Amino acid sequence: MDSETSDTPLSSRIASLVHAHFDALPARSKPSTFPDGSREWIPMTGIVAVKGKFAVVLGAKCLSASHIPRCNGLVLHDCHAEILAIRAFNYWLLTECSSLLSQEKQSTPDSPWSQARQSSNSSFIQRRTTGDREDSPQAKPEWPPFEIQPDINLYMYCTCAPCGDGSMELCMAAQEDATPWEIPQQSSSTSQESDEIPSEETFLDGRAHFSLLGIVRRKPSRTDAESTRSKSCSDKLALRQVSSLLSCETSRLVAPTKNAYIAGLVLPEEEISQVACERSFGENGRMKALAGRSWPSTINDETEPSYRFRPFQILPVPTEKVSALWGFAKPKPIPCPVVSAENEKTPKSQPPRKSKPGNASAVWTLAPSYYAPSATMEIGSKAVPTLRRSKTGLYETIINGVKQGNRASAPGAQGASALSRAKLWALFHNITSEPTSGSTCDDSEVASEETPKASTYQEFKTASSGEDPSGIRMQARLDAQRVLKGWMPNSGDEAWSLDVLVDTKKRKR
C-alpha cells in the first residue's frame, strides 16, 4: 500500500484494500448464501504494509487437544483468521528471502559480495551488514542475514475484535444479563499468583466467567465441542507484541527490527472496547511488566534489532463503511419483541433460518519480488494468476486444517497447507541448504552454524544455545508467557521429521 497522503484515514484505506482483494477471490473461497436468504458468517483478517499488501485470510476454526498428536505437522492447529494471516505473512517472508537469494545467484562469479547484494532488489527486505560502509572491506554479513526495509510498517485489519480478553466487554454487552457468571471454587484460584503451568480446570473457555479479566483463555467454541488448548487471538497477539510477527523459521533469517512488529490493529468502531484493548494490548495493561526490557538484554538502543514489548495502536474504521464492505459478518442478536395480549392470536411470521459460521478458510498472499521456479514454493498463480492487479504467491482454501478436498483425520503431504508446520520448515530447510551465490558470498552465510541440522521438528524448535537467534526468541516468549500467566502449551505435534512430506501413496494415472 503506497504511503502517499490522502484525505481518507489510513485505517479506512487499509480496510478498503483488504476487502477489494477478498472480493476478487473465486466464489469457492467465500462463505455460502442459502436459498432462504440466510448465509454463513466468518471473520476476515489482512496484513498490509504501507508499501504493499501481503496477506488476505479468513477463518474461524481450531483443532481439539486430542487431535493434535495425530497431525504430524501436516494439519493447521488454529485456523482463526488472525493466526492464519500471521502464518501467511511468514510464508510470504520466507519466499521473499528465497527470492532475494535467487537474484544474487544471477551475479557473476567474480563479483564482490557488496555488488551481489546491490544487484538484488526487494521493496520489502534487505541484507544486513556490519561496517560503516556497505562496500568497505570490513563489511561482513550479519546474522540473521536479512531485515525488513526500514520504511515498511505492518498493519493488521480484522472485521471483528480478536477473541479472548480483547473482546470480553463486547461479549458482556451482548448478553441480556451482563452480570458476571458465578465462578466455581476450583476456577477462582487460577494461576494468577503463580508461574506454574495451569491445569485444564483453570484454563478458561473463551467466553466463560466475565469477571476474570486480563487472563489467558481458550479459543471460544460450542459448549458441546471437545476442548482445545489453542489460546485466544487476544493472547496470541499480546505475545506477538514481544516476539514480533516472525515465526520460528523466519526469525532465523530476518532480524527482529521495530518494523517486524504490528504497528497498528485496525478494527471496525463497534468492535473496539477501549478498556479491553488497553488492558490486553496497552503499555499500561497486563504486559506492562515487560516495558523497557530487551532480548538480548545487552542491547539498550531501541533502534538495534532486538525483541521488546512494542504495543500497537488501535485504529478505528467507521462501522457503516465496514458494513457496506463486508456482507459476511456475524449477525447481531435481535431482541424478541414484546407481544401484547390482543396480538397473541395473530399468526407469527416464520423466523429466518439462523446463520452459521463458515468452515472454509481462504488464504491469499502476494507473489515474491523475483520469481524463480522452486519445488519448495506453493504457487497459487495457476488458480488465481492475479488479484486486483497483484500477482499471486499463494492461494489456498482450507477446511479443518488441511487443503480443501483432503481429510484432517488422515493427513498426508498432498493435503498439507503451505502454512502447515511441515511445509514451512521444508521451505526454510531448502532456503538454508542451497548455496547463496556463485560470487564471493560465503556459501555458509545462510546455511551456517546458526541453522543447525535437526532430525525432528522438536529439535528444530529447540535452541542450540541462549545466544543464537532462536534461543533469544525463545527466552523472550517464555518471559512474555510468564507475565501473561495461565499459558498452557498446545504440545504433542513435534516428534516428526520432514519425511512426513514424502508421499508414499501411489497416484492414479
3-state SS of 484-503 is HCCCCCCCCCCCCCHHHHCC
CA dihedral 260, 270, 222, 66 (to 10 degrees): 0
| Overall domain count for the chain | 1
Given this model, what pLDDT does residue 255 score?
96
**504 burial level (CB within 10 Å; 0-12, 13-18, 19+):** exposed
Given this model, what pLDDT does residue 245 score?
98
Given this model, what pLDDT does residue 286 score?
96
Residue 32 belongs to some domain of the structure? yes
How many distinct helices (H) and strands (E) make up the chain? 11, 15
Do strands 356-357 and 125-129 pair parallel, antiparallel, or not at all (unpaired)? Answer: unpaired
Residue 305 CA, chain-centre distance (Å), reads 21
Residue count (the chain): 509
The pTM (predicted TM-score) of the whole model is 0.87
Residue 186 belongs to some domain of the structure? no
Given this model, what pLDDT does residue 444 score?
46
Q: How far are the Cα atoms of 96, 121, 222, 284 from residue 127, in angstroms, in the given order?
A: 12, 10, 47, 35
Buried (b) or exposed (e) across 467-480, using 16+ Cβ within 10 A?
ebbbbbbbbbbebb
Residue 115 belongs to some domain of the structure? yes
Residue 372 belongs to some domain of the structure? yes
Tens digits of pLDDT across the chain (509 residues)? 665 556 889 999 999 999 999 999 998 888 888 887 778 899 999 999 978 778 888 777 787 888 888 899 999 999 999 999 999 999 999 999 999 998 888 765 555 545 545 556 788 999 987 654 445 444 445 779 999 999 999 999 999 999 999 998 998 888 776 665 555 554 444 444 444 444 554 556 656 677 788 989 888 766 556 777 889 999 999 999 999 999 999 999 999 999 999 999 999 999 999 999 999 999 999 999 999 999 999 888 888 999 999 999 999 999 999 999 999 998 876 544 444 455 545 554 444 456 788 888 999 999 998 876 554 566 676 788 888 888 899 999 999 999 999 988 888 999 999 999 999 999 999 998 865 444 334 444 565 445 557 899 999 998 767 778 889 999 999 999 999 988 888 889 999 999 999 876 655 54
Give the span between the Cα atoms of 4 and 426, in whole angstroms.
38
The predicted-structure confidence for 354-389, as pLDDT tens digits, reads as follows 678 888 899 999 999 887 655 456 667 678 888 888
The predicted-structure confidence for 73-82, as pLDDT tens digits, reads as follows 999 999 999 9
- Using DSSP, state whether 428 is helix, strand or coil: helix
Task: Give yes or no for a contact between 131 and 235, defined as CB atoms under 8 angstroms apart.
Answer: no
Task: Give yes or no for a contact between 297 and 304, defined as CB atoms under 8 angstroms apart.
Answer: no
User: CA nearest 186: which of 199, 170, 168, 173?
Assistant: 199
Given this model, what pLDDT does residue 334 score?
56
Given this model, what pLDDT does residue 440 score?
39
Give the span between the Cα atoms of 79 and 363, in whole angstroms.
10
E strand map for 318-473: 356-357, 360-366, 386-387, 390-399, 402-403
Domain that holds residue 35: 10-180+197-331+356-501
Given this model, what pLDDT does residue 221 score?
62
Residue 507 belongs to some domain of the structure? no
Residue 405 belongs to some domain of the structure? yes
